[in-house]
A and B are shown apart, each in its own frame.
Chain A
Amino acid sequence: MNKFHVIATSVALAAAFTTSAYAGARFDAIKAKGFVQCGVSTGLPGFSMADDKGSWSGLDVDVCRAAAAAMFGDASKVKYSPLTAKERFTALQSGEIDILSRNTTWTLTRDSSLGLNFAGVNYYDGQGFMVTKKLGVKSALELDGASFCIQAGTTTELNLADYFRANKMSYTPITYDSSDETAKAFDAGRCDALTSDQSQLYALRIKLGNPDGAVVLPEIISKEPLGPVVAQGDDEWFNLVKWSLYAMLNAEELGITSANVDEMKSSKDPNVLRLLGAEGIKGKGLGVADEWAYSIVKQVGNYGEAFERNVGMGSPLKIARGQNALWNKGGIQYAPPIR
C-alpha cells in the first residue's frame, strides 16, 4: 500500500519537473509556454554570469534577451540553464533549452553532425595565451616546453596541440573541467600559461589575485567565431534568433540606441522605419509583433551598447572592439539589411 503511494509521489514529482513534450514547431511551443529557455555558461564574466542574487547578465545573455524581446515584447521572459561544456549540446538536442548562447565556437562538425544550427556570430574570437608578466615572454613562440592550463573538451585543447606540433615545440597540458579551475590553477602557478579564447582570457584575468600581473600575448592561433545555437528542425525559431542578433547590429549601424529609439520612430530614414516596424515587411515574416526590433533595441540595446556594457571599456573586462567593430568601422561585424 505504501509502495503505491510512493510511486504516486514519484510520478507527481516527475510531472512537476518535466516539461511536456513539444508537439510540432518549437516556435509555437516557446510562444505557448511564454518564456525562452536559454543555455548559458556556469559563470564567465562579461558573457554569462549570475550575480549573487542569481540574475544573469552578459553579451551571450543579451542574445537570449533579444530573442525574448522579439518574441514576447519583453526581454525579461527568459529562464537560464547554466551548463558545463560537456552538457551543452545534449541539452540543446534534447530540447531542454531553446537557445544555447554559451561562447560556443562555430565549426563544421558542430554545424553539420550534431544536429545544430548556428544563428550568426555575436563575438569574433580567437585562441590566445595569457602569461604572467614576471615570466618575461613576449610571444607564444617562446613558450617551448611550457605547461598550459586548458579547459577539457573544448576546441582549445585541439588547437593548442596543432599549434605546438606545427611549430615543433613541446608542451604539457594540464586539463580541468571548468574555466574557473584553469584560472585558479594559473593564478597559483600550476602552469606557465593559460590558453583559451581571447575574450575568455580577459574574463578570467579579472578573476586573478593580481590581474595586472598577467598579460595576454598578441598571437591568435585560431578562428573562434562564437555565436548562439539552436537545434535543427525549426526554421521559424532559427530565423527569429538570427534576426534578433541582426537587428541589434543593424540598430548600431543606423545609430539607434536604447536612449534615442523613441525619437527615431519619427525619423525620415526608411531604413530606420523598416527596422522599427513602421514600414516594410514589419513582423510578418518572422511571425512576431511589428515592433519586434523596437522592443529589442528599447530593452536590450543595440550591439554596440551591449558590447560596451558587458565586455567593452564600460566593463571590468575592457576589451577593445577590434574585429567586433561594425564593417564600416574597421571590424567584420556585418548584418544583412532589414527590408
Chain B
Amino acid sequence: MSIHTPHPDLPPPVTSVGAIGWLRNNLFSSPLNTAFTLFALYLLYETVPPLIDWAFISANWSGDTREVCDANPSGACWAFVRVRFDQFMYGFYPESEYWRINLAIGLLVALMVPLFIQKFTRKGLLAAFILIAYPIIALQLFAGGNFGLESVETSKWGGLTLTLILSAVGIVASLPLGIVLALGRRSNMPIVKSVSVVFIEFWRGVPLITVLFMASVMLPLFLPEGTHFDKLLRAMIGIALFQSAYMAEVVRGGLQAIPKGQYEAAEALGLSYWKSMGLIILPQALKMVIPGIVNTFIALFKDTTLVLIIGLFDLLAMIQTAFNDTNWLGFSIEGYVFAALIFWVFCFSMSRYSQALERKLHTGHAR
C-alpha cells in the first residue's frame, strides 16, 4: 500500500509566464504580429533616439543670443524660448505689472482647489463665487484703471494669458445662454423650440473663423452709429455666441438623461416650470454634463488660437511674432514644439480629468 504522492506541480513553461511569456503573448503571438512588432521597433529606432538627442541631449538650454545655438545646430535651441518666455506668457503686458496676472491666476487656482476636496461642502457657493465675483475681480486686475492700478489697454494683453482669458470668458459666458437654449429646444412651445433650434444649428453649422470675421468686420455695422466695442470684446462676443450653441447641445444631453419620473414628480408637487427646472432638473442635469462641459472647454481652448487670424496676440500669435525677430530667425520648430507642449499639457490633463469624472458619475441614473 503505497500512498500516492503526486509530483509537485511543474512550473509553467517559461514561454508563457514572466517577461518572456508577456513578450510572446503581446508582441510575437503570430507571424503577422511579429512582423508588426519588428516594423514598429524599427520605426521607433529611427525616430525616438534622434528626437531625444535633438530635444534633450544636444539641446542648447542656456545663453541669451543665437550664437550659442549656431555653434551647435544639431540640437534644439531652447534658449530662444527661454529668452522670449515672458512674452509668450504675458504678451505685451507691461513687465512691472506681471504680478497682477500672476495674482489673478493664482487666486483662481486657490479658489478652485477646494472644489476638488471631497469633504468641502460649500462647493455650490464657491462655484457661484468663481463664476460671478471672480470675473469682476480678474477684470479689475487685468484692465486696471481703478484702485490706483495702472490702466492696461486690451491691445497689450497677449500670450498664454490671453488664451486663458478668452477660453475662460467663452465658457463662463456661454453657460447661461447654453442652458436657456437647451431648455428652449426641449420646450413644448413650438416657436420657442424652433427659434432655439435655428439658433443652435446656425452657429454649429458655420466655422469659428467666419464667426470671428463677422465679429471683427460686421459687428460694428450692426451697432448704432458711433457705438463701438473693443476688438477683444468683439472676439469674445463671437466666441461666446458660437460656444453657446455647443454648450446647449451638451446641456440638452444632460436634460435628456434625467428620467421622466423626475419631471413628472416635480410637476406632481405643483412646482412651476422655472422652479421644477431650477430646483429639480437642472441641478441633476448639470452635474451629469460636467465631463461634457470640460470637453467643450478643451475644444474651445484649442480653438482660441484662431484669434490670431483677426490680429489678436494669443500664445500662438506671440510665438509667430517671435519668429520675426531678426536676431532669432530660423527657430520655428522650437517655437511650435513649445506651443504644442503647452497646449498638450492643458488639453491632455483636462481630458484625463473629464474621463475620470465620467467614470465617477456613471454610477447615477445615466441610461
Q: Which residues of A contact B (CB under 8 A)?
A: 2-3, 5-7, 9-10, 12-14, 16-19, 21-23, 42-43, 50, 52-54, 79-84, 86-87, 90-91, 93-96, 177, 180, 183-184, 187, 206-209
Contacts and interface: CB of A to CB of B under 8 A. Distances in A.
Nearest to B153: A79
Nearest to A22: B226
B176 A18 contact: no
Contact of B311 (A21, A42, A183): A42
Nearest to B92: A54
Contacts of A50: 92
Given A7-B176, A53-B94, A87 B230 contact: no
A209 B232 contact: no
Contact of B139 (A3, A16, A43): A16
The 7 closest A-B pairs by CB, nearest first: A94-B220, A54-B92, A17-B233, A17-B230, A21-B226, A84-B311, A5-B132
Interface string B218-237: 00110111111111110000
Contacts of A90: 216-217, 220-221
Most buried by A among B128, B226, B232, B321: B226
Interface stretch (B72-80, B103-111, B191-199, B322-330): B322-330
A184 to B, nearest CB: 7
A13 B138 CA distance: 11
Contacts of A96: 220, 228-231
B311 A82 contact: yes
A206 B217 CA distance: 32
Nearest to B213: A86
18 contacts: A3-B176, A6-B131, A6-B175, A7-B176, A9-B135, A12-B139, A13-B139, A13-B233, A16-B139, A17-B229, A17-B233, A52-B87, A54-B93, A80-B155, A177-B309, A180-B320, A180-B321, A183-B324
Interface of B: 87, 92-95, 128, 131-132, 135-136, 139, 143, 153-156, 169, 172-173, 175-176, 179-180, 216-217, 220-221, 223-233, 309-311, 320-321, 323-324, 326, 329-330
B227 A21 contact: yes
A43 B321 contact: yes
Nearest to A83: B311
A2 B321 contact: no
Most buried by B among A5, A13, A53: A13
A93 B219 CA distance: 12
A29 to B, nearest CB: 9
Contacts of A18: 227-230, 233
A87 B311 contact: yes
A16 B311 contact: no
Contacts of B180: 3
Contacts of B132: 2, 5-6, 9
Contacts of B231: 81, 87, 91, 96
A93 B156 contact: no
